[in-house]
Amino acid sequence: MPLVDSKAMLIYAQEHEFAVGAFNANNMEIAQAIVEAAEEEKAPVIVQISQGAIEYAGENCLFAIVKSLADKANVPVVCHLDHGVDFHTVIRALRAGFTSLMFDGSSLPFEENVRVTKSLVEIAHAAAVPLEAEIGKVPDAAKGQLSPEEVQKYLTTPEEAMEFYERTGVDSLAVSVGSAHRMKVQSARLDIERITRIRERIKVPLVLHGASGVLDESISAAIRAGIAKINFATELNKAFTAGIKQKLSDDPGLVDVRKYGSFGRENVKKVVKEKIRLLDSANKAEEVLKFIQNKKLIEDKNDKSKIVE
């Protein structure tokens, strides 16, 4: 089926207490693994292409891969820009056809983050594409051990989240609640009370980044507290690399990329299937699709009634 956008999908997840898995694809094999896993689990899915992946492979190439996989899939698939850190990358992704966008202004001063996010929300909405933004900052574990004071400094406060949401009109909001990007071990516990307090003030779906390092029970608690989109990247990279390393160590003479690339792909697929079940999005594809279609019918009807003869 054609790519769908993330707006209705995330609203539905939020209302029904599950989360949609958002998985980063850096190459064709990982994108294939994500979509195949979603089909086998009958789950809605978000395939994410980060700014880093765009620098590696180009937005048009990765978008074309995700689009062609979605076209053949029997579950709803979103193609989302992950961590667009500048205005121009977000616009390029929009032009390429991405059906969901993220602007990450979390390194900017608050006022500057509000200004750029707001202008991108206006542009994205004119093209009927939803936009995610980030307030507070999900730190990067790969940059070294963070002290407890540093972690605290980065956390999202409910007040700043509310002000940011009201002033920008974003469709979903990434919040810093105890996770960190690029953790290679699952050991982080989330601040569930903070999620609840943010949820009480913000209507739109909340997003958890850096989920590879978060304990399973904390992820389940976060969903119950109101997180509706959960991002995984490092675990997929780890699984892909481990599958290839294993195959090449078993058969060091192998040179055909297809003969070891498929082992990386199978390993990623296993991880994605486990995460889909953890997020409780397995077997939700059909109901999500019905909700998206109904919402679209209502919007089309409202648009027609606005046309002045």
Kindly list the residues in this chain that would bind Zn ion in the complex (CB under 5 A). 209
SS (H, E, C) 160-227: HHHHHHHHHCCCEEEECCCCCECCCCCCECCCHHHHHHHHHHCCCCEEECCHHHECHHHHHHHHHHCE
Window of 53-61, 196-204, 232-240, 282-290 that interacts with ligand G3H by CB under 6 A: 232-240
State the sign of the Cα–Cα–Cα–Cα dihedral 10, 15, 19, 20. Answer: negative
Q: Which amino acid is at 217?
A: E
Given 82, 104, 171, 191, the catalytic residue: 82
Task: Give the other-Cβ count within 10 Å of 127's Cβ.
Answer: 9
Question: Given candidates 182, 238, 277, 295, which one binds ligand G3H under the rule CB under 6 A?
Answer: 182
Minimum CB separation from ligand G3H for residue 163, in Å? 23
Instruction: Name the token pair of 254.
Output: 């192998």
| 24 interacts with, out of Zn ion, ligand G3H, none, CB within 5 to 8 A per kind | ligand G3H
In the region spanning residues 2 to 41, those forming contacts with ligand G3H, defined by CB under 6 A, are: 24
Q: Choose between 197 and 209: whose C-beta lies nearer to Zn ion.
A: 209
Cross-strand partners of 172: 132
Minimum CB separation from Zn ion for residue 138, in Å? 6
Integer distance in angstroms from the first to the last C-alpha of the chain? 34
Antiparallel, parallel or unpaired: β 172-175 and 227-232: unpaired
Minimum CB separation from Zn ion for residue 34, in Å? 16
Question: Given candidates 232, 240, 260, 291, which one binds ligand G3H under the rule CB under 6 A?
Answer: 232
- Name the nearest CA neighbour of 138 among 101, 92, 104, 91: 104
Task: Give the other-Cβ count within 10 Å of 290's Cβ.
Answer: 11
Minimum CB separation from Zn ion for residue 232, in Å? 9
State how far the Cα of 223 lies from the Cα of 280, in Å rounded to an integer.
9
Q: Choose between 83 and 247: whose C-beta lies nearer to ligand G3H.
A: 83
- Name the nearest CA neighbour of 138 among 111, 178, 187, 81: 178
Does residue 181 touch ligand G3H according to CB under 6 A? yes
Minimum CB separation from ligand G3H for residue 175, in Å? 12
In the region spanning residues 201 to 220, those forming contacts with ligand G3H, defined by CB under 6 A, are: 209-213
| 212 interacts with, out of ligand G3H, Zn ion, none, CB within 5 to 8 A per kind | ligand G3H
> Is-catalytic flag, 82?
yes
Does residue 238 touch ligand G3H according to CB under 6 A? no
Question: Given candidates 7, 67, 83, 229, which one binds ligand G3H under the rule CB under 6 A?
Answer: 83
| 32 interacts with, out of Zn ion, ligand G3H, none, CB within 5 to 8 A per kind | none
Does residue 80 touch ligand G3H according to CB under 6 A? no
Cross-strand partners of 24: 48
Q: Are 3 and 242 in contact (CB under 8 A)?
A: no
Does residue 176 touch ligand G3H according to CB under 6 A? no
Minimum CB separation from Zn ion for residue 177, in Å? 13
State the DSSP code for 156: P
Residues taking part in catalysis: 82
Instruction: List interacting residues with ligand G3H (CB under 6 A).
Output: 24, 82-83, 181-183, 209-213, 231-235
